[in-house]
Amino acid sequence: MEEPAVLERFDVDRIRQDFPILTRTVNNRPLVYLDNGATTQKPRQVIDAIVEYYTQYNSNVHRGVHHLSQLATDAFEVTRRKLKPFINSAHEHEVILTKGTTESINLVASCYGKAFVHAGDEIIISAMEHHSNIVPWQLCCEERGATLKVIPINEAGELDMEAYRSMLNERTKMVAITYVSNALGTVNPVKDIIGLAHAVGAPVLLDAAQAIQHLSIDVQALDVDFLVFSGHKMYGPTGIGVLYGKEKWLDAMPPYQGGGEMIKEVTFEKTTYNELPFKYEAGTPNIEAGICLAYAIDYINSVGLDQIARHEHDLLEYATGHLLEVPHIRLIGTAREKSSVLSFLLDGAHPYDVGVILDKLGIAVRTGHHCTQPLMDHYGIPGTVRASIAMYNTKADIDALVTGVERAAAMLL
């Protein structure tokens, strides 16, 4: 697989040409896709790689001596090799391939919990977590007799860092926090969060599901213990995700599931486990998705995360300014540090109705609680309309959104 050249200049029209779906219409209107927080569209390079895999070398990985199996295994391992510099992990074997963010968090909550969480211990999350970063920790606490603590947020949707400081103590066994909130767009001060947790000896898991496609992340510079994300939110296929873990934790934790690639030797008396990363990769993985994630990484690298972040930040500012001009609009999530998410309500209208009207205009947004029900309860609302931005969005997309919201306001209020 050749390394792609980096684009010299960010050219959104050129980028859009790589995403075939963006040329289709919905309800006889050009598609305006602003549901990127749920999943991103895929560039032709990823789609072609999927077709190539199934037409040229479909085979199981890590098992066969035959030619196709070796091609598939090599291609699968290329992804791990590309992920290492992408997040700057110290070792390739610290990169575990999973089904996605949710599975990665469940793996850590289960395995770390068994090894390190005991009765009376505490686990800290925040009020803005996705259900995937709440429920696994609730299960862990129930099983281990530990207590879940929740960092509160202010009205803007920023963490109360004073409250966080006061929660940390020698009983804290894990801090699990989202890097970027999927419902508010808040970018959390993760470096400070990690430093404070480490000062009491607690590791930190960062949920980077909404960060990895927008910000460049260096796990060593952050000194983060676990980092999790999904392929499908970063222009790659569904069914593949990543768990980065520091070697010392991954070595010390028991395996997650048994079978397949995770064994070294099995007898009926005793099984010994394979080395990292395979210890945590039981069973046949999603081979096609694993292989094709490498093409998504290449695509992001070819555009450049710094250029992507700049473009998305400009669009976010543009969209915020114009949406705030719409009568009866209320933005939910006004943190000083934000990335790519606009959550809003039209006062007096249900978010679902706004979403249906936007859909009629060919505009895809997400409506509802965004898998953050406790956060919606905090604001006393049933949900929001969420527009989420990706590298291929344009000012024309935002103009269409604003016009659509004005139409919705005129019809519903």
The nearest distance, CB 364 to ligand PLP, in angstroms, is 15
The nearest distance, CB 71 to ligand PLP, in angstroms, is 28
The nearest distance, CB 27 to ligand PLP, in angstroms, is 25
With respect to ligand PLP, which residue has the nearer C-beta, 316 or 409?
A: 316
168 near ligand PLP, rule: CB under 6 A: no
The contacts of residue 49 (CB under 8 Å, 6+ apart) are 291, 292, 294, 295
Tell me, yes or no, if 141 is annotated catalytic: no
- Give yes or no for a cis peptide into 30 (omega within 30° of 0): no
CA distances for 343 relative to 34, 147, 361, 383, angstroms: 12, 31, 19, 9
State the burial class of residue 132 (Cβ atoms within 10 Å of its Cβ: 0-12, 13-18, 19+): buried
With respect to ligand PLP, which residue has the nearer C-beta, 101 or 340?
A: 101
The correct pick among 100, 236, 239, 362 for binding ligand PLP (CB under 6 A) is 100
384 near ligand PLP, rule: CB under 6 A: no
Stretch that binds ligand PLP, among 6-14, 119-127, 203-211, 259-267 (CB under 6 A): 203-211
With respect to ligand PLP, which residue has the nearer C-beta, 183 or 408?
A: 183
Contact call for residues 309 and 244 (beta carbons, < 8 A): no
213 near ligand PLP, rule: CB under 6 A: no
Under the phi-then-psi rule, with left for phi > 0, alpha for psi from -120 to 50, and beta for the rest, what region is 333?
left
How many angstroms separate the CA atoms of 342 and 364, rounded?
13
With respect to ligand PLP, which residue has the nearer C-beta, 133 or 274?
A: 133
Contact call for residues 401 and 409 (beta carbons, < 8 A): no
Which amino acid would we find at residue 298? D
> Which among 111, 140, 292, 371 is annotated as catalytic?
371
The correct pick among 110, 132, 172, 186 for binding ligand PLP (CB under 6 A) is 132
153 near ligand PLP, rule: CB under 6 A: no
The nearest distance, CB 285 to ligand PLP, in angstroms, is 15
With respect to ligand PLP, which residue has the nearer C-beta, 100 or 203?
A: 100
The correct pick among 41, 73, 79, 101 for binding ligand PLP (CB under 6 A) is 101
**For ligand PLP, how many residues bind (rule: CB under 6 A)?**
12
Contact call for residues 323 and 329 (beta carbons, < 8 A): yes
210 near ligand PLP, rule: CB under 6 A: yes
The nearest distance, CB 145 to ligand PLP, in angstroms, is 26
How many angstroms separate the CA atoms of 308 and 301, rounded?
10
Q: What is the DSSP string of 189-226?
A: -HHHHHHHHHHTT--EEEE-TTTTTTS---HHHHT-SE
With respect to ligand PLP, which residue has the nearer C-beta, 241 or 255?
A: 241
Residue 62 structure tokens: 């890590």
Residue 264: phi, psi to the nearest 5? -100, -50
130 near ligand PLP, rule: CB under 6 A: yes
Active site residue ranges: 371
Q: Which residues bind ligand PLP (CB under 6 A)?
A: 100-102, 130, 132-133, 178, 182, 207, 209-210, 230
